[in-house]
Chain A
């Protein structure tokens, strides 16, 4: 049974339905990593998006216990060339079917990447009905992925981290639990006053899906919390902190998505391969007039990959130090955050 993914630009790519769910709308993005499909599909940052995998065989090593970034598959739809069985019981295809997530296989994902490279990330629709309505957007997506209540992780004694949840990945929380912290994940709209009541020693502003500019109402709150405690912002968190301190954000033509993005620490010259998944970026010029300074830059396009507050302990990273999927060297960011909390100072400054 054939289906089609139609992009906003009008371009269409045919495929074969692998699932009984046969309709999806969402922003179409691509992932170039050759491993990590389970992590990607369960990453709340991809909530509401249709993810196209460029590696032609997806599902080849089955499902791995403990690899999911949240309890459920988050993506709106999946585009692959071959949904591979791996000869084992833990099959990706079955899980996608049970989760009601539509999958099209036989899709020319390489040409799709060409199209996205040319016209930028865009809205798309997976359907068999070519007359289906095309409207929709990702606004208010945060509400659907953020925790509705406080959730405690770990019982470490090194400190208490409050995580403002804009769509946090499990491995991000896990990274701090492993470093001896108790982490309380709270709804994204938790007020500064409510945060103070939790008596945190550090703040994690999490990753998440959508356009950071849709969250302008919460910027004052984020800034107030960040100025009060050592703070780490990751991906969406990085962008929100940047906005809160006066930076500008722009949509990239096509985002950084994959496990192989080189990032340079401009202070030390150190280069890391990083896992990334973002379609918006902090403009480099806008940093100048703010209390934030550049700490990390992308080696290829020199875009902003992370900042440091000039006076207080606030560290932000556009990339995903928790990886999962992807390279582990950027995990050092969590060690820095740990030091910031322990010393109460900005260790990079």
Chain B
């Protein structure tokens, strides 16, 4: 029977649901098509590889509502649904489709794990019943649907307790309550966060060790564990926020087998077909365990397990969902053994999360059951120390040489503060306390609950860096513990180059070993490598011309999945040219770290030392940095200094665009207007500059991601308040509150191809990443657009640069100012590519290697009608303490794209099925200063239960804004966006069209 399978993706990136679902969704689509299925894909996230028109047969980039899902089903009539590769969003939507009777009406069968199983795993009460039947131990718990129900639990079991809202992403709205008061507050918030107003109240088992098991089961009942993992943090810190090691480090074989057998009992009883994640808590000294959670789908952890072992869980899970057996599937890593086996690792993998705290002032850095990390870095090594330090530096953690410099002089109290309530800096604070002799390992074990095994590892790091590292033996040990030349150099007070020279004199060089799933037991040709300082190198440099592509590393606010999209497309473009592609990246979530993408994959930190080691091992001279976001750009200087060739770019051009003086000089020379501004080096400079420029003005550092450290200063009072937080040198510009436009184009150094202009709805001053954008522009006249294109051509001719180019403009009156020129791929490239149907990254890659635009870009340009609207998605709920106010600092984590015949889309504020109840609300509340709406004073007591949207932007209303966010209300803080919202509310929902029909011109709007 011909299978037409609807695959539901995970929608925009939010905290708790990131690039891992692009990886799993892409693998699933590929596996389905390999099995002869026709694939219909539904995902609103345009920055993904999976929404590329080539990945599925019918791709729908639409708001992920029940209504749109039903329309897609009506149009495409799929026979099957795969709902287990799109995270919680896909599961929720599948459940909603089932409950609305849509699946039954159209006779759609679910592939793999059934909806009943999903409900057993998701519905706390059913889950509890199921575990009780199996005799699997759970912490004492009860499900509540009203706050009154909490009384009984507290009188019986007391505090501390954990609140876990049902059906939420990454534990949204959950937490640990130490006191009775806190328990009531948390439970109230949890009930609000849960789409079914249900929470699990659970006895706290904080202090137990936490483990995860990644299980696969086929319809024949064969089960395997792909990998187990251990959180360094005991239960209490969300696994997504914890440093994790794979395999587990402190489990004996007997306990491992106990948990393994329990996993099999659980997945068998639930009837899982495909992948499943099970979390366990294990008593630190006794043989007792609890089941914490079961996720009957692929997850962030399964992506990590796939990359840590090489075993492609999502791909195999999809084949199992189609009815294949584990012992019928070939293990794609060895190509000679079968998928029904359990990977054996001969290395340690560490995962380190990345957090957005440094971007915002006053963020609550404490970690708990609600996830706060935006991304993660992965690294392998032969020792715990090596894997951890590599993952740390891959995540951008400052180590000087062991821990951040402020910790070297901080008061003991400040360090203990990081530990008592765990923060993202807890492990580093432990290192500092040990190193400075303030605390002993056993004291820290008692305070943190971190296992002695890990604390002794910290002690070894502390003693190793203090040894005489000039001897060969000690130096080798330091390298084997993952210390970089730069770290060692800091300790020895010499340069990193001097350490490198000493290292080479001692004949200490890195080796690269294959990730082969079997500890070398079977022959394997997987081109998937990690670096270490022990053993023999297995890399054989290729004969063909080769290019290294620098990936973008962990997902951070401001540098998201879109750069992975670009990196992957650059690989594909180079492969078409017959070039050997070498991908270097350390983000385990992504498509780019799937070993089937590039010719060779290196999972290594994206620091200059680690990257250069790979280039040396491969004998590779050409490096492509322009697709890896700021991560690649920041390596430009050092790579060039070491003699490597940057394709399409030079460090000088990058500097010319980043250095404000040089940038303004460049624009002046080519006669393009720029906003008046200057670089200042002191507070006196700043005040006199402001005196010249006048208020309002914008201050910011250079070379930053996501507008970090950027402020708009409107008054002298603002200046007084903000100045103490500034570090110099700084750029200060006049603030021109005009209309912002952006182009993503391709240049060959002579001409520029401009596919489309994006127009920002909000006034300039809102970070472009947080803005709503329309293409083509609706408010910018044709004459102005023509003028902008002419400016782009002028810039392209003057700039010694080839490849992807992003330029931002501000229009004020008749003047077109150039705000910024980014000689790299930008956040919006995938959007423009999908809207126009033009492979911009492929073209940019060809241009970067020296091809002329005339030979790359076809003469015929696509004809347009209709609009595409990009809207940002925020994870405000996950970051308490961060004011949900748009401004120069980027806060959004993801985005959606929608197509429409009018510039207004009715689903403007919708991002997944869990917000359906909010979508049904209509009430608008406006705070102070919104005279055209209403103008009322808001405070914490304002009732938001029936409110759809809040217009608010004055500082005094921060608490009201945060309360609104907690109640599922969308906060709008900019007047143009508020007007747009009003219009959008009147718009009728648009019918659905696949990307493929739009691009062949059969359907509108394109």
Which of A36, A117, A299 meets B253, CB within 8 Å? A36
Which of B223, B341, B456, B534 meets A261, CB within 8 Å? B341
Cβ contacts under 8 Å, B813 to chain A: none
Tell me, yes or no, whether A127 is within 8 Å of chain B by CB: no
B520 touches A114 (CB 8 A): yes
Secondary structure class of chain B's binding surface, majority of residues: loop
Measured between alpha carbons, how far is A331 from B515 in the docked complex, in Å? Answer: 31
Minimal Cβ-Cβ distance residue in A for B532: A56
Looking at A33, A35, A67, A272, the one whose CB has the most chain B CB atoms below 10 A away is A35
B261 touches A86 (CB 8 A): no
B-contact 0/1 string along A1-31, CB 8 Å cutoff:
0000000000000000000000000000010
B252 touches A64 (CB 8 A): yes
Measured between alpha carbons, how far is A113 from B254 in the docked complex, in Å? Answer: 26
Closest CB of chain A to B440's CB: distance in Å? 12
Looking at B336, B345, B383, B534, the one whose CB has the most chain A CB atoms below 10 A away is B534
Measured between alpha carbons, how far is A108 from B511 in the docked complex, in Å? Answer: 12
B319-368 contacts to A, CB under 8 A, are 325-327, 336-338, 340-348
Cβ contacts under 8 Å, A231 to chain B: none
Tell me, yes or no, whether B535 is within 8 Å of chain A by CB: yes
B252 touches A300 (CB 8 A): no
Which of B248, B345, B519 meets A113, CB within 8 Å? B519
Minimal Cβ-Cβ distance residue in A for B442: A87
Closest CB of chain B to A188's CB: distance in Å? 27
B342 touches A260 (CB 8 A): yes
Cβ contacts under 8 Å, B382 to chain A: 56, 81-82
Measured between alpha carbons, how far is A54 from B516 in the docked complex, in Å? Answer: 13
Tell me, yes or no, whether B251 is within 8 Å of chain A by CB: yes
Which of A82, A117, A299, A328 meets B327, CB within 8 Å? A299
Measured between alpha carbons, how far is A32 from B519 in the docked complex, in Å? Answer: 6
Interface residues in A, total, Cβ within 8 A: 52
Tell me, yes or no, whether B669 is within 8 Å of chain A by CB: no
B445-486 contacts to A, CB under 8 A, are 452-453, 455-456
A327 touches B341 (CB 8 A): no
Which of B223, B249, B346, B523 meets A117, CB within 8 Å? B523
A87 touches B519 (CB 8 A): no
A108 touches B257 (CB 8 A): no
Given A117-B523, A299-B338, A329-B264, CB of A87 within 8 Å of CB of B220: no
A87 touches B453 (CB 8 A): yes
Which of B251, B456, B535 meets A35, CB within 8 Å? B251
Measured between alpha carbons, how far is A56 from B337 in the docked complex, in Å? Answer: 23
B-contact 0/1 string along A29-66, CB 8 Å cutoff:
01011111011000000000000001111001110101
Measured between alpha carbons, how far is A326 from B264 in the docked complex, in Å? Answer: 14
Which of B224, B326, B327, B344 meets A54, CB within 8 Å? B344
Which of A32, A33, A82, A329 meets B383, CB within 8 Å? A82
Measured between alpha carbons, how far is A34 from B343 in the docked complex, in Å? Answer: 10
A54 touches B253 (CB 8 A): no
A-contact 0/1 string along B214-237, CB 8 Å cutoff:
000000111110000000000000
Cβ contacts under 8 Å, B249 to chain A: 57, 60-61
Minimal Cβ-Cβ distance residue in A for B220: A269
Which of B251, B252, B326, B521 meets A271, CB within 8 Å? B326
Tell me, yes or no, whether B556 is within 8 Å of chain A by CB: no
Measured between alpha carbons, how far is A87 from B250 in the docked complex, in Å? Answer: 11
Tell me, yes or no, whether A323 is within 8 Å of chain B by CB: yes
Tell me, yes or no, whether A159 is within 8 Å of chain B by CB: no
Closest CB of chain A to B255's CB: distance in Å? 8
B453 touches A60 (CB 8 A): yes
A110 touches B341 (CB 8 A): no
Measured between alpha carbons, how far is A270 from B519 in the docked complex, in Å? Answer: 26
A270 touches B222 (CB 8 A): yes
Looking at B252, B253, B513, the one whose CB has the most chain A CB atoms below 10 A away is B253
Cβ contacts under 8 Å, A272 to chain B: 222
A300 touches B256 (CB 8 A): no
Closest CB of chain B to A115's CB: distance in Å? 10
Cβ contacts under 8 Å, A300 to chain B: 336-338, 341, 522
B341 touches A328 (CB 8 A): no
B253 touches A32 (CB 8 A): no
Tell me, yes or no, whether B247 is within 8 Å of chain A by CB: yes
A32 touches B260 (CB 8 A): no
A32 touches B535 (CB 8 A): no
Closest CB of chain B to A64's CB: distance in Å? 4
Tell me, yes or no, whether B601 is within 8 Å of chain A by CB: no
B240-286 contacts to A, CB under 8 A, are 247-254, 256-257, 260-261, 264
Tell me, yes or no, whether B925 is within 8 Å of chain A by CB: no
A67 touches B341 (CB 8 A): no
Cβ contacts under 8 Å, B256 to chain A: 35
Cβ contacts under 8 Å, A66 to chain B: 254
Measured between alpha carbons, how far is A262 from B441 in the docked complex, in Å? Answer: 42
Tell me, yes or no, whether B384 is within 8 Å of chain A by CB: yes
Tell me, yes or no, whether A316 is within 8 Å of chain B by CB: no
Minimal Cβ-Cβ distance residue in B for A55: B346
A271 touches B534 (CB 8 A): no
Which of A39, A55, A259, A329 meets B345, CB within 8 Å? A55
A74-127 contacts to B, CB under 8 A, are 81-82, 85-88, 106, 108-111, 113-114, 117
Tell me, yes or no, whether B205 is within 8 Å of chain A by CB: no
B341 touches A323 (CB 8 A): no
Tell me, yes or no, whether B536 is within 8 Å of chain A by CB: yes
A262 touches B344 (CB 8 A): no
Tell me, yes or no, whether A273 is within 8 Å of chain B by CB: yes
Tell me, yes or no, whether B518 is within 8 Å of chain A by CB: yes
Given A110-B513, A271-B326, CB of A326 within 8 Å of CB of B257: yes
Closest CB of chain A to B81's CB: distance in Å? 28
Closest CB of chain B to A7's CB: distance in Å? 15
Measured between alpha carbons, how far is A259 from B352 in the docked complex, in Å? Answer: 29
Tell me, yes or no, whether A182 is within 8 Å of chain B by CB: no
Measured between alpha carbons, how far is A82 from B858 in the docked complex, in Å? Answer: 59
A111 touches B342 (CB 8 A): no
Measured between alpha carbons, how far is A324 from B261 in the docked complex, in Å? Answer: 13
Tell me, yes or no, whether A233 is within 8 Å of chain B by CB: no
A57 touches B346 (CB 8 A): no
Tell me, yes or no, whether A258 is within 8 Å of chain B by CB: yes
A110 touches B346 (CB 8 A): yes
B453 touches A54 (CB 8 A): no
Measured between alpha carbons, how far is A67 from B342 in the docked complex, in Å? Answer: 22
Closest CB of chain B to A40's CB: distance in Å? 9
Minimal Cβ-Cβ distance residue in B for A85: B456
Cβ contacts under 8 Å, A113 to chain B: 519-521
A110 touches B384 (CB 8 A): no
Tell me, yes or no, whether A325 is within 8 Å of chain B by CB: yes
B260 touches A328 (CB 8 A): yes
Cβ contacts under 8 Å, A309 to chain B: none
Closest CB of chain B to A13's CB: distance in Å? 10
Closest CB of chain A to B482's CB: distance in Å? 13
Cβ contacts under 8 Å, A81 to chain B: 382, 534
Minimal Cβ-Cβ distance residue in B for A111: B536
Closest CB of chain B to A66's CB: distance in Å? 8
Looking at A54, A113, A260, the one whose CB has the most chain B CB atoms below 10 A away is A260
Tell me, yes or no, whether A169 is within 8 Å of chain B by CB: no
A67 touches B535 (CB 8 A): no
Cβ contacts under 8 Å, A110 to chain B: 346, 513, 519-520, 535-536
Task: Report which B residues bind A (CB closer than 8 A).
Answer: 220-224, 247-254, 256-257, 260-261, 264, 325-327, 336-338, 340-348, 382-384, 441, 452-453, 455-456, 513, 518-523, 534-536
- The 10 closest A-B CB pairs, nearest first, are A87-B452, A36-B253, A35-B253, A325-B253, A260-B342, A54-B519, A271-B222, A32-B344, A87-B456, A32-B519
Identify 10 residue pairs between A and B in the complex whose beta-carbon atoms are under 8 Å apart, listed by A's number: A35-B253, A54-B346, A56-B347, A87-B441, A87-B452, A106-B534, A108-B535, A110-B536, A271-B340, A325-B257
Beyond the given pairs A262-B338, A271-B325, 19 more chain A to chain B contacts, judged by CB atoms under 8 angstroms and listed by A's residue number, are A39-B253, A55-B247, A55-B345, A55-B346, A60-B453, A64-B252, A88-B452, A110-B535, A258-B519, A260-B341, A270-B220, A271-B326, A272-B222, A324-B253, A324-B254, A326-B257, A327-B257, A329-B223, A329-B264
